């Protein structure tokens, strides 16, 4: 579904991604874990078209998308839930969701879009209750749900999520991850970026470990969670515990 080859990207003089190659198969959930500043967010922004890569290719659904605009990429079925949620805080929950379906405005009827909205409401019941409330008045977790719901409104084939657990209460994080697991079961392909490696690896099939803009490790979620290096660095277990 998604294949990235030798991707290099950065901001100005900052060279962040140094030759990233990875792939995501249809129906798969792939996690990218790594510390702050490893380039995880930069990768997702580059795939989504917000950032132009310096070199390398991004192939999505057999089409090269690394020169496309974000609008085209969303319309092609690749949707990003950005880090920090970025919901429209001055607009209502319903308006946020409607805008998520913006690229479908000519292809779909109002009934189709209302049906998608119902699906999102079924996933996140709280959004239905708060439909007419302004996005900015929601709690962190609810905003995250709204951000995911808004991305789902575009009917993506690949859903990319950037740190969905960031700034969300632990209990809500569990809810959100349950929903992510449900989306995966329904056949949605997922690319997930997380610092919360435990959560991410629990839902993912495979994972990549990023360090300073490079992939240092890859494998199935099982392999990664069993890897002592990953355990030490990202799962919060110290050497002692591993050695026991």
Partner 1 sequence: MDYPQIVQYCFAGITVGSIYAIVGIGFNIIYNTTGIINFAQGEFLIVGAMTAISFSQFFPLPVAIGMAILITILLGGLVEITFIRQVRNASILRLIIITIGISILIREAMLHIWDEKVRFLPYFTGTDTSTVTVLGAHISPQVLWVLGVCAVIVLGLTLFFKYTLTGRAMRACADDRMAARLCGINDRWMVTLSFMLSAGIGAIAGCIISPIAQTQYDMGAPLAIKGFTAAILGGLGNSMAAVAAGLFLGLMEAFMVSQFDVAYKEAVSIVILLLILVFRPSGIFGRHEINVLRTM
Choices 13-21, 55-63, 92-100, 163-171 (CB under 8 A): range interacting with partner 1: 92-100
Q: Are 52 and 12 in contact (CB under 8 A)?
A: no
Identify the CA nearest to 219 among candidates 239, 238, 197.
Answer: 197
User: Which range in 3-11, 101-109, 137-145, 190-198 contacts partner 1 by CB under 8 A?
Assistant: 101-109
Q: Which of residues 137-196 bind partner 1 (CB under 8 A)?
A: 150-151, 154
Residue 24 Cβ, how far from partner 1 at the closest point, in Å?
Answer: 18
Closer residue to partner 1, CB minimum distance, 60 or 234: 60
Among 59, 99, 216, 217, binds partner 1 (CB under 8 A): 99
CA distance 205 to 212: 23
* β 158-162/189-194 pair status: parallel
The position carrying tokens 């140094």 is: 18
| Ranges within 42-81 binding partner 1 (CB under 8 A) | 48-50, 69-71, 74-75, 79-80
CA 8/CA 37 separation, integer angstroms: 15
Joined tokens for residue 58: 């991004």
User: Contact with partner 1 (CB under 8 A): which of 52, 105, 182, 241?
Assistant: 105
């Amino acid at each position: 579904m998604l294949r990235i080859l030798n991707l290099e990207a950065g901001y100005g003089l900052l060279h962040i991604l140094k030759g990233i190659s990875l792939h995501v198969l249809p129906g798969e959930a792939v996690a990218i874990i790594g510390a702050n500043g490893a380039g995880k967010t930069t990768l997702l922004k580059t795939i989504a078209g917000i950032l132009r890569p310096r070199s390398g290719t991004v192939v999505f659904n057999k089409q090269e998308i690394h020169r496309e605009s974000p609008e085209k990429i969303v319309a092609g079925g690749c949707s990003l839930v950005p880090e920090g949620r970025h919901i429209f805080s001055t607009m209502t929950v319903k308006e946020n969701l409607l805008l998520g379906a913006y690229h479908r405005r000519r292809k779909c009827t109002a009934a189709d879009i209302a049906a998608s909205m119902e699906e999102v409401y079924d996933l996140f019941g709280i959004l239905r209750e708060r439909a007419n409330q302004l996005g900015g008045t929601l709690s962190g977790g609810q905003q995250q749900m709204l951000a995911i719901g808004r991305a789902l409104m575009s009917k993506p084939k690949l859903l990319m999520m950037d740190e969905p657990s960031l700034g969300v209460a632990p209990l809500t994080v569990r809810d959100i991850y349950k929903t992510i697991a449900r989306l995966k079961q329904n056949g949605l392909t997922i690319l997930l970026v997380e610092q919360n490696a435990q959560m991410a690896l629990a839902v993912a099939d495979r994972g990549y470990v990023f360090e300073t803009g490079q992939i240092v490790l890859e494998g199935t979620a099982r392999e990664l969670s069993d890897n002592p290096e990953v355990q030490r660095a990202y799962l919060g277990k110290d050497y002692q515990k591993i050695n026991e």
